[in-house]
Amino acid sequence: MKKSRLLLSLIAIMLLVATVMTLFACGNESSTAPADPTPIAPGEGTIGGTDTDLTVTDLAGRTLLLNRDKIQKVVCVGAGSLRLYSYVADLAKIIAVEDIEKTRTTGRVSYRAYQIANEELFATLPSAGVGGPQAQILNKERLTELSPDVVFSCLSLTADELLDAERAIGCPIVTLKYGPQKAFSEELLQSLELIGKVMKTEVRATEVVDYIKSLKADLATIAQGKTSAKIYLGCNSNWGMKGFLSTSKNYPIFTVSGIANVMDGDTMVVSSDGYADLEAVVSSDADKIILDAGGLAVFKGEYEEVGGHLSSTLAEMKAFADKEVYLMMPNNAYDANVETCFINAYFALNVAYELDIDIRAKAEEITSFFLHKSLYDDIVTYGGYQKLDLPDVWPTK
C-alpha cells in the first residue's frame, strides 16, 4: 500500500515538473519569435510577411510575393515606369515622383504626354529622387524614408542589387521593361499586364493591351498591298537632340507599318551611337525624308554652319530636290512616348503611301484612350505634322 502511494506521488511530481517545463518553453518561444515579416529570400519580395495573395514573375525574371490588399503607397522609378503605371493604375496611390516628373522640360527631357496630363498632381508630390537620363539610380535612402508598399522600376539593376534594395526599403521592387521595339514590343504589353495584376486593375490593363494590339493591326492592314516610298529618318532623338545623320536601322515606327527604311539595306551602316555616313545617306536614293522635330534646331545649326557644305551635299538628294521633307513629333523622352509612337506611325503612313489619314483626329483618339485627355495641341508644339518648306525653315545665306 505504501509502495503504491509512493509511486502515485512520484508520478504526480513528474507530471507537475513536465507541465512547468512546457509552460516555460512556450513562454520563452513566444518572447523570442520574430515580429518582423519573413526575410526576403533571393529573388523574392514580400508585403506583410507570408500573408500573400499573389505570386508574379516580373520582367527581370524574379518571383515576387505580394499582398495586394496592403498596397496603398506606390512609387515608380526609372525611365518610363510612371508612364506605364499612369496608363493602367490608380494615380491616387502614388506617394512621390522623381524630380524629372515635376516639370515639362528638365535638362534634355521634354514632351511626355503622361506628365502633361498629370502635371498638377505630380508637382505637389514629394521627391522620390532626381531621376532623368543622367540619374538612373535607385535612391534607397529616400525610398526608405517614403516607406512605399511597392516600387515599380524601369532601372537596369542586377538581382543582387534588387535584393539589397528590397531589404533596405522593406518592400518588393517590380521590374518593368519596354523591350527593343519600345511601344511595339511584347515586353511593354507584359509590363502593363503585370502592373494590372499587382494593382488589381486587370480590366484596365487588358483594355490598354488590347487597344495597342488593335492599333498595330490597323497600321498593318492600312499598309497591306501598298508600295512604300523609300524613307530616310533623320534627327532621330535618343538620349538628347540629334542632327540629320542620327538615324536607325529597323526603326520600329516604320517596321510596324511596312515602310521601306533606306537604312535597312545590307550596305548601309549605322554607328554604335546611331549615326549614318553622309555620303551613304546621299547615295541612298531616298524618295522622302522624315525628320524628328526634337532635332530640328540641331539640323538648322548644321545646315547653316559648315559654309554651305551640308546644304550643297544634301541638295544632291532626290528627296531634297523634290522638296519631300516632312516633320514628325518627338517620340522619345524619358523612354518612348507610347501614344506619340502610334500617332507618328499613322503620319508615316501618310508620307510613305500618300494617304490622307486625319492625324489630329487620330491623335485625339489615342491620347484620350491612354490618358483620358486630348493632348494633340500639346504634342504639336514642336512644329506640328507637316511637309517642310525648306527656304522658310532654313534661309539660304
Per the CB < 8 A criterion, the answer to whether 91 and 166 are in contact is no
**In the CATH hierarchy, which top-level class contains the domain 226-393?**
alpha beta
Q: What's the whole-model pTM score? A: 0.85
Alpha-carbon distance 181 to 342, whole Å? 12
Architecture, CATH, for domain 54-211:
3-Layer(aba) Sandwich (3.40)
224-278 per-position pLDDT tens digit: 999 999 999 999 987 678 889 999 999 999 999 999 999 998 888 888 888 999 8
pLDDT at 299: 87
Q: Which of 35-39, 116-120, 246-250, 328-332 has the lowest mean pLDDT?
A: 35-39
| pLDDT above 70 coverage of the chain, percent | 82
Read off the pLDDT band of 305 (50, 70, 90). low
DSSP state string for 292-340: EGGGHHHHHHHHHHSTTHHHHHHTTSHHHHTT-EEEE---BSSSB-HHH
> Around Cβ 104, how many Cβ atoms within 10 Å?
14
Angle, helix 81-88 to helix 186-199, in steps of 10 degrees = 60
Q: What is the mean pLDDT of the chain?
A: 85
- The arithmetic mean of pLDDT across residues 119-148, rounded, is 93
Alpha-carbon distance 176 to 197, whole Å? 13
Bridge partners of 232, per DSSP, are 289
Alpha-carbon distance 334 to 375, whole Å? 18
Same topology, domains 54-211 and 226-393? Answer is yes
pLDDT at 370: 98
* Strand arrangement of the beta sheet that strand 74-77 belongs to: 94-96, 74-77, 150-153, 173-175
Residue type, 34: P
| pLDDT above 90 coverage of the chain, percent | 64
Q: Is residue 295 over pLDDT 60? A: yes
> Around Cβ 102, how many Cβ atoms within 10 Å?
16
Extents of the domains making up the chain: 54-211, 226-393
Per the CB < 8 A criterion, the answer to whether 82 and 76 are in contact is yes
Q: Is residue 364 over pLDDT 90? A: yes
